[in-house]
């Protein structure tokens, strides 16, 4: 049995054409494959929001727990963690990511809380790789990285971002409220010695805490030939201590570094968060992430999945959208995909940090997944 299908295209398989229409002969053996693809492509509606932004990046938070208490993120006081049964299981994450990938997600970043505190994260990385995620990365505080790096690489992880907010041991201990400086440096060493590329180191600069280390971080990037990224402090801290004058702007950082070492801009994708520069005279790279002073919402390609299965269309969203309910309520992949499409339609035009009356979201960074 063969099928004759009419369509407005010419192909080498064409048997005959009438005007613009072409009849393709599909052998019986290929019928199932054809219809399978047709069904799949029907599902694979690309994720585009109402402002025309294509959504290609998914941040997946695998836990709300963390072994650090960074001052700009968590509180010194104990927080209420999500009950275990509220957290997505690995199978649930895998199913959702498969649906997302079918809708055009190309980059997945595993984050938290601290992703390395959740047992089984290496297997999860391997499962994501098997789904066909094109660009698979993790953001970690680096504490457990040295001992886990090889397994993450073997699982198929492509690249890594490691947080390091001070190069001075005591200050690092005050910022993170831990004594783990050597472990984090060992984590960076392990990442640099591995196949993970690029290795990016992230610092959140907070005025009066670590803003005097801009040049030292730049030297760190040059000496180690890595990408040093400076992230502006955002109003997502658990203590709600953020004020505008605590933000060290990208412009200030650029001026300070380039006064010492001329910087050359590097072309970046429009949707990238960082403005990138290399040193004119040597190794290393700088990334400036300026969500407060130079918002990049107009080209945002990101959505976030929280550890309890909520979809967030912006770090600063007021609401999140429950996908766990659908997962556990017996919804089909198609129904979940349709709901994701609907949610993405409502992605915010931009955050409102710089508008009067801005109110920070009720979830803080550790509960959203950065």
Among residues 308 and 339, whose Cβ is nearest to ligand SF4? 308
Partner from ligand SF4, ligand SAM, none contacting 301, C-beta within 5 to 8 A by type: none
Provide, rounded to whole angstroms, the least separation between the CB of residue 141 and ligand SF4: 4
What CA dihedral angle connects 63, 69, 73 and 78, to 10 degrees?
A: 80
Which residues of this protein are in contact with ligand SAM, per CB under 6 A? 66, 72-73, 111-112, 114, 139-141, 163, 202, 204, 231, 233-234, 236-237, 365-366, 370
Residue 205 Cα distances to 153, 221, 246, angstroms: 29, 16, 8
Which residues of this protein are in contact with ligand SF4, per CB under 6 A? 66, 68-70, 73-74, 112-114, 141, 163, 365-366
Provide, rounded to whole angstroms, the least separation between the CB of residue 20 and ligand SF4: 57
DSSP 101-121: HHTT--EEEEESS-GGGSTTH
Phi, psi of 274 (to 5 degrees): -95, 140
**Taking phi first (over 0 means left), then psi (-120 to 50 degrees means alpha), and beta for anything else, what does residue 132 get?**
left
Provide, rounded to whole angstroms, the least separation between the CB of residue 163 and ligand SF4: 6
Partner from ligand SF4, ligand SAM, none contacting 148, C-beta within 5 to 8 A by type: none
Among residues 152 and 257, whose Cβ is nearest to ligand SF4? 152
What is the DSSP secondary structure assignment for residue 299, as one 8-state letter? G
38: helix, coil or strand? helix
Partner from ligand SF4, ligand SAM, none contacting 69, C-beta within 5 to 8 A by type: ligand SF4
Provide, rounded to whole angstroms, the least separation between the CB of residue 366 and ligand SF4: 4
Provide, rounded to whole angstroms, the least separation between the CB of residue 21 and ligand SF4: 58
Task: List strands edge to edge, sheet with 57-61.
Answer: 263-266, 274-279, 285-289, 227-232, 199-205, 159-163, 135-140, 107-111, 57-61, 302-305, 310-312, 321-322
Among residues 233 and 261, whose Cβ is nearest to ligand SF4? 233
């Amino acid at each position: 049995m063969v099928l004759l299908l009419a369509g407005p295209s010419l192909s080498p398989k064409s048997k005959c054409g009438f005007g613009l229409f072409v009849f393709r002969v599909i052998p019986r053996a290929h019928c199932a494959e054809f219809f399978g693809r047709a069904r799949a492509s029907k599902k694979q509606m690309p994720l585009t929001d109402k402002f025309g932004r294509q959504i290609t990046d998914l941040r997946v938070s695998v836990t709300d727990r963390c072994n650090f208490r960074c001052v700009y993120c968590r509180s010194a006081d104990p927080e209420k963690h999500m009950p275990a049964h509220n957290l997505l299981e690995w199978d649930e994450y895998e199913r959702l990511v498969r649906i997302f990938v079918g809708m055009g997600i190309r980059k997945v970043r595993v984050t938290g809380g601290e992703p390395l505190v959740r047992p089984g994260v290496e297997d999860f990385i391997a499962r994501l790789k098997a789904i066909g995620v094109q660009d698979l990365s993790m953001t970690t505080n680096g504490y457990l990285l040295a001992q886990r790096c090889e397994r993450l690489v073997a699982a198929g992880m492509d690249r890594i971002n490691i947080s390091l907010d001070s190069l001075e041991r005591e200050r690092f201990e005050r910022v993170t409220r831990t004594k783990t400086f050597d472990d984090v440096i060992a984590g960076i060493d392990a990442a640099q010695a591995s196949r993970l590329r690029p290795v990016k180191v992230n610092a959140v600069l907070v005025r009066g805490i670590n803003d005097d280390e801009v040049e030292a971080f730049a030297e760190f990037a040059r000496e180690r030939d890595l990408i040093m990224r400076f992230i502006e402090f955002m109003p997502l801290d658990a203590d709600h201590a953020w004020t505008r004058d605590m933000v060290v702007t990208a412009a200030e950082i650029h001026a300070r570094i380039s006064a010492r070492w001329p910087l050359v801009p590097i072309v970046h994708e429009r949707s990238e968060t960082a403005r990138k520069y290399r040193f004119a005279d040597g190794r290393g790279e700088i990334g400036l992430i300026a969500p407060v002073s130079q918002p990049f919402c107009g080209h945002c390609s990101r959505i976030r999945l929280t550890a309890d299965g909520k979809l967030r269309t912006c770090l600063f969203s007021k609401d999140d959208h429950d996908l766990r309910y659908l997962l556990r309520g017996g919804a089909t992949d198609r129904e979940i995909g349709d709901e994701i499409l609907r949610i993405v339609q409502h992605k915010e035009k931009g955050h409102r940090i710089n508008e009067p009356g801005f109110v920070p979201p009720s979830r803080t960074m550790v509960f959203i997944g950065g």
